[in-house]
Every structure is written in structure tokens, then in C-alpha cells.
Amino acid sequence: MSQQAINKVVVAGGGTAGWMTACALASQLGHYLNVVLVESENIPTVGVGEATIPTMQTFHLLLQLPEQEFMRATNATFKLGIEFENWGAIGESYFHSFGETGRDFWAGQFQHFWLRERLNGGQFSYADYSPETQAARAGKFAITKNPRLGFAYHLDAGLYAKYLRRVSESRGVTRIEGKIQTVKLEPNSGNIEALQMADGQLIDGDLFIDCTGFRGLLIEQTLHAGYEDWSHQFLCDSAVAVQTESTGELPPFTRSIARESGWQWRIPLQHRVGNGFVFASGAIGDTEATDTLLQNVVGKPLNDPRVIRFRPGKRRKTWVKNCVALGLASGFIEPLESTSIHLVSSAVIRLMRMLPLTGLCAQDIETYNRATDKELAAVRDFVLLHYKQTRRTDSDFWRYCQQMQVPDSLQDRLDIYRDSGRIYWDSDELFTVNSWNQVMLGQGVMPRHYHPAADIMPQADFAAQMAKVRQSVQQMVAQLPTHQNFLQSYCEPQ
């Protein structure tokens, strides 16, 4: 496509996505690239993506960001998973934990052992074999080595962007303050040539990263990438968010509480609690949604509730010509499983691996877009699972979710799991077999059979081994400090 070397990368937009991108490029390729970020302090960011998944640890290792420094800068807390309440049925709850549950064997995963126990009269839950679940419910946490607890973070998204800005600028990123007025295209190639600022300044570049949020100023308004709408499956298209004072102990997990026309999040930080209600505007109005949220928060509100609109789906292409869209500019899957920040880091790493330093290549762009589509489809299916497998019939919202047609890729997983307890998983998928198991079982999907290899062990030995796993979980949790105490000691100012 072009033999012009990529020497200058321009990131349009700041916020979490923009500064994650700039920091990664400067940290890994700063010796080769000139990285410029353009943002306006007058354009607000969404700033409510405050829960993460464990892949953030890997991203921070890549960027060489010290964990304690990051946590102090963002008022972060630890997260062992998500408690889902009222999703399968009103009054029910289950925990989607990180880490591993039980012990796998040659023919399959631990669920086959658990199914043998359960289908033969056992009363222990799958969660009884999960250290993360038991630690979360006990309000305990520590960074352990053997076994290692799987964890992620809750963080202040606004403070995170500021922290990454400081790091990025110290590593050579140039920040330009101002509003983008127009996007200039090269007349022959149709590539982006420069960003024209409101003050008349022209910012040229070789590769442009669109982090302008939902509006997609470069990827959509200028290059017309197109949008694949998923609102026929994701009815929720709005959220109202508010921050409240902290009250009581800080739990090491996110809460997701299903309501009549959506769901509520509760995210504990060191200095406050983040709250929000994701809802379907066709089923409930803004005023009623705001009232629903405020009636179900704990602690005094610290700000006025803010309504956010979104359109579930993705760009048909996230890389068009010399422009790559990241973050909200590339699409949106609701934050039910805290994937927003991960999808930014994953896309940044994919881009850096494929960065066409010697010039744009059509094959690179096609491969990048194909990999992005595959990743988003897998995340879409996992989030849809929570809605499709509800047994709630108390509102039109939940009845629609229960009856809706889902992609074949998800339906196939459901059919196979119901029949055999098997979960087929690609090694590059985000959500592991353990994650699929926990949500399947939590939503009430119980397999009819299990792998016959789970029956090889004599019953007495089998019962003893299962008891040993449960006891090891209990012993580990008993030795942990409370999350509050560990957090205070770990994040003490140096």
C-alpha cells in the first residue's frame, strides 16, 4: 500500500485508551517512533471503566509500571472476581472468580470430577473448590505464590489516565492541548495526512490512532469504517453512574446486581465507591433509572448522577488505511465482565506486534482486523451467556433475553456443555474454561453427563481426593489477612 516508513504516530484523544496507547508505544518503541498525543481538556472522557481483569498485570509488566506505585496513584483495590446477584433467578447469586478451580486431569477439566461428585449425590458446590471465591466471600486477600491467587484491580479511571500521562511524558510522548477541527486526507491515497486544530495548527503523522471515544472522529466520521450493530442482542444502551462515600470494609470483588431492566455495578476503591446502572432505554427512562440507582447505593453520593449513551457493537473495520481505532472508538461491549480496559491493552499489543515500520501493508491490516473480530466475538458470546441463560420472567426485558437467538458460536458451546460438560477453548481466548464453567453453572446450565475417565478412581479414593482439595482451599483462606488490612499495608506511602 505504501512504502513510507512509520516514524511518527499521532494518538487522537486522551483518556484511558489514549494514554494506555501512548505509554505502550513510548515504552516499547520509543527509540524508533515519535509519539504525539492530542487531547482537549474541554472534552470530557467517559471515565467509568473502573474494574479490570488479570491481564492488566501482564500489561503493566510490559510497561514496567511498579504495582504499588500504580495502586497508590489510582486509589486501587484488589479484585478476585465478580459476584453476580439475581442473574439466574431473583434471590440467587454466584461468583465468577479468577484463577483456577480444583485440579484438571488428562482427559479434561476439573468440572468432570465435580460433576461425578454432584451427579452422584454430592452436596458441595463448584465454588467450594475455588480459593478466590472463598477468599472473596471471607473478605480476605494477599499476594501469594504457591498457590497463587488470581486477581485484578479496581481503579479510579480518571486518576489512571493522569498517572499514565505522567509516565508517558517522562518517556518522551509529546502532548498537544487543543480541539481537532478537521481531519485532512491525502488526495491520492485517501490516507489521513494531518489533524487541523481549532487554533490552525497542523499535526501530521504517518499512523493515526483514533481514541476519540464513541464519536470515532477519524475512523468513522472521516474514513467511514461502518458499524456492526449488536443492539438486537444487547438491549442495554445506556448507563447512569454516581460515586459514593465508602462505608465499612472494602470487599475484594465487584458486585453485579441484576435489576428489572438492566443491572447495577458496585466497585470499591480506597477513597470511594463507583456505582452505576446499565439499562435499556426502551424499557426504562432516565429519571426512573437514576432513581433506581440512587435507591440502591450505600453511602452518601459524592457527585450528581451522569447518564451515558452507548451503542452495542463494533466497527466493521478497526484499521482502515493509516488509522487504527482503539477503545470506545472501535466499538463497545457493555462492562458486565470488565473487559473494556483489557480490549485496549490487547489491541495495543497486537498493533505493536504488527506495526508496519517500513510502510503500510494490506495483509497486515487484514490480519489485524480479522484477529480483532475474533477476539470481540468471543467476548460478545461470553457476555451474552449471562443474558441468554437467565430464568427470570418478571419483565419484558428478561423474557426477551431468555428467548433471543444467539450466535451459533455461543449456541454450540451451550449445547455441548449441556450434553457432556465439555468446553472447547482456543488458547488465545480471553475467558478460560474455568470462567465458562462458573458462569454456565451459575446461570443454571447443568450438564447431563461427564467424561467417563473421571470414573477411573475408586470411590473411596475419589472422595478422599475431593475432600483434600476442599481442605487445601479452606486452609489457604484461613491464613490470609483481610483485604482491608493487606491493602493498607501494601499501599502505604513510601
Catalytic sites, residue numbers:
79
DSSP, collapsed to helix, strand or coil, labels residue 398 as: helix
Alpha carbon separation from 62 to 59, 231, 355, 487 (Å, rounded): 5, 35, 17, 24
Please write down the long-range contacts of 468-474, taking CB distance under 8 Å and 24 or more positions apart.
Answer: 469/102, 469/103, 469/129, 470/124, 470/128, 470/129, 473/128, 473/129, 473/130, 473/131, 473/134, 474/134
What nine digits make up the cell of 183? Answer: 481531519
Cα separation of 178 and 197, whole Å? 7
Residue environment code for 373-396, b if the CB has 16+ CB neighbours within 10 A, otherwise e = bebbebbbbbbbbbbbbbebeeee
Q: What is the 3-state composition of the chain as percent helix, strand, coil, each rounded to the nearest 5?
A: 40, 20, 40
Decide: 354 and 319 in contact? Cβ < 8 Å: no
Return phi, psi of residue 175, to 5°.
Answer: -100, 135
What nine digits make up the cell of 50? Answer: 473502573
Amino acid at 380: R
Neighbouring C-alpha atoms within 13 Å toward the C-beta of 249: 15
* DSSP tag of 75: T
Return phi, psi of residue 349, to 5°.
Answer: -65, -40
**Sign of torsion over alpha carbons 201, 323, 171, 341:** positive
**Sign of torsion over alpha carbons 220, 279, 56, 436:** negative
H helix runs in 308-432, sequence order: 340-354, 362-388, 396-403, 408-420
Which of 454, 416, 407, 460 is closest to 437 using CA atoms?
416
